[in-house]
Each structure stands twice: as structure tokens, then as C-alpha cells.
Amino acid sequence: MTVDFKKYIASVQDFPNKGIVFRDITPILSDGEIFRAATHELAEYAKKRGADVIVGPEARGFIVGCPVATELGVGFVPARKPHKLPREVERASYDLEYGSNSLEMHKDAIKPGQKVVICDDLMATAGTLHAAIELIERLGGEVVGAAFYVELPDLKGREKLPNIDIFSLVQYH
């Protein structure tokens, strides 16, 4: 099925701050056929890259990444906001299109040498992606790709991570 995913992304001016155009992917999620098609595209990409495990950053990365992992029959590892995970963690900080935050992963979440594809809804400045890569590599994993529903190429995320293979369903300039 070829889908025009942009028909299922709502653009909201000045949210959450003035000057930001928020790309809301919830219409993809609420349509079962479209959600499945988006999941399938990301899963095909992750399979092609040889993923052993999917990492999804909190919170929308959980929604996007979990069904990709189940479609492939591989594990899912959450990268969480601080103080959510109960055991020993690694932490990395990052800047966003608006604001900044930190991500944590359990120290034993990735087995050394595992091939990882990171899944999330949107790549803006690639701050979240950068932090996730740092964590995965500290844990001994190999990031073989990153897959998104939406990419904002004008924020030059790809240029900041020239060694990372990046896939996105749609781009907004």
C-alpha cells in the first residue's frame, strides 16, 4: 500500500512555543491501516539494516518503536527521561528544537555488539538522537540506523550525525 502520510500529520502553528510549527502524528496512530503501514515501512528499513533490537526514546519513540520491534520479532529497549528506570543507568543530556532534556538507559539493556535501530516520531535538531546514540555506544551497541515518521531537514540533523544512516517517511521544509 502506498500512503501519502502527510495527509495524516496535522500542522499546528505556535505550539508549544511561538514560531514552532508542531507536526502532530496522532492521526497516523488513530487510523489502524495507516499506523500499520507506517510501522511496516520502518520495520522493513530496520530489517534491511540488520537490527537485533529497537531503541525508542520517551515518549513518542515508545509508540513508534514498539510495534516495529514486534513486527520483526526483536526486542525493544526504552530510553527514558531521568529517574524513571529503577536499576543502574547511563545518562546523556541533549538540546531540542525547544528546550533540553536528558535520557537514561539501563546499563545492561544492550548486549555488546548488538545492532540497534533507533525509532522515533520526528527528527528536528537530532538532539534526542545524538543522546540515544551516545548511550547505546557506551553500552557496547552498534547503531546501524535511525527511523522516523517525520524529518525537518532545515534543522540539519543529518549533517550533525554524518555517520548515521537515517530514514524518514516524510520531510517538511
What residues are labeled active site? 60, 97
If one asks whether residue 62 binds ligand ADE (CB under 6 A), the answer comes out as no
Strand partners, 22: 12
Q: What is the sign of the dihedral through the CA atoms of 64, 113, 81 and 131? A: negative
Instruction: For the segment 1-30, give every residue that binds ligand ADE (CB under 6 A).
Output: 20-23
Smallest distance from the beta carbon of 76 to ligand ADE, in angstroms?
A: 21
Interface size with ligand ADE, residues (CB under 6 A)? 8
Instruction: Identify the residue among 41, 52, 90, 97 touching ligand ADE (CB under 6 A).
Output: 97
If one asks whether residue 124 binds ligand ADE (CB under 6 A), the answer comes out as yes
C-alpha dist (Å) from residue 110 to 38, 75, 103, 105, 117: 25, 10, 15, 9, 12
Strand partners, 44: none
Considering the complex, state which of residue 124 and residue 146 has its C-beta at the smaller distance from ligand ADE.
124
